[in-house]
Amino acid sequence: MEILITMQPEIINHPYLTAIKRTDLSVPTRYLLQHNLLKGRILDYGCGFGYDTDELIKRGYNIIGYDYYYRPYYPEGKFDTIICNYVLNVLEPYAQAEVLMNVTNLLSSNGTAFFAVRRDLVEEGFRLHAIYKQYTYQCNVKLPFLSLTSNSSYELYQYNHFNKLLRKEGETCPFCRLSRKVEIICETATCLAFYDGYPVSPGHALIIPKRHVANYFDLTNHEREAMNVMLQFVKRKIDDRFNPDGYNIGINVNKAAGQSVFHVHMHIIPRYQGDVQNPKGGVRGVIPNKQKY
């Protein structure tokens, strides 16, 4: 008996079809204007056709717009304020994480980002666009950031770098009360990356979950996956800035394996030609007489 297996065609998301040609400022941007929250060098991330950006330029604000489809010149430098309006709702989870990492990477150390998400979505998932007949995705999004305002239409969140937030009284974990001097590389809802304060080599970075967990094997599957997704992003940023020749990636679990800070942390250690006499064996060197084989 012959069994036929039919493969379902892959559904491709077309989020750019959700961009709206506005004739007035978006509601989140009006809120930020009314509350004097647009300061310094400003980025409108995911600006679509760019009405908000262009209107704010006319009003004298120092702002540029970036959109992957409509204004694809990627921004350079750091920004004091970043707006990200109605972007996350039309992206699948991996793409949402990419946006969060990019926005937090582009934000200056003392800057503020604002994420607006829709609250009027009834059905989640893929839908065939009524006009363009292409698939677009929509979902509800909850973020673990400060909520400035929320109603039945939208919610506006405020983000500041993890190490700039108020610390819990009596907190002793050095990662939960991360030094304000540390340079944040990027952040998502569940984890963040930063440059090590005592680097083994130029570009040495750490990725940690925000939740205080000592043992890597006690993390949730989502937390482990989030760290791995962030690893790829951090590696690209280190490549761009330090141009290393290789990497060692490692996690110490328990005192016997050398763990000294009992909050999970992944080391991303760039390696350079000639940084040691003989690098053969790499991470096998944690037991020195077993490194060579």
Binding residues for substrate: 258-261, 267
Q: Which of 161, 204, 263, 265 is catalytic?
A: 265
Q: Is residue 204 annotated as a catalytic residue, yes or no?
A: no
Distance (Å, whole) CA 259 – CA 215? 10
CB atoms within 10 A of CB 172: 7
Name the CA dihedral angle for 174, 175, 180, 184, rounded to a multiple of 10 degrees.
150
d(CA 129, CA 36): 36
Instruction: Name the pairing type of β-strands 63-66 and 42-45.
Output: parallel
**How far apart are alpha carbons 35 and 117 in whole angstroms?**
18
| Binding site residue list | 258-261, 267
Q: Is the dihedral of CA 101, 89, 53, 155 positive or negative?
A: negative
- Is residue 194 within 8 A of residue 178, CB to CB? The reply is yes
Task: Find where tokens 């056709």 sit.
Answer: 49
Catalytic residues: 265
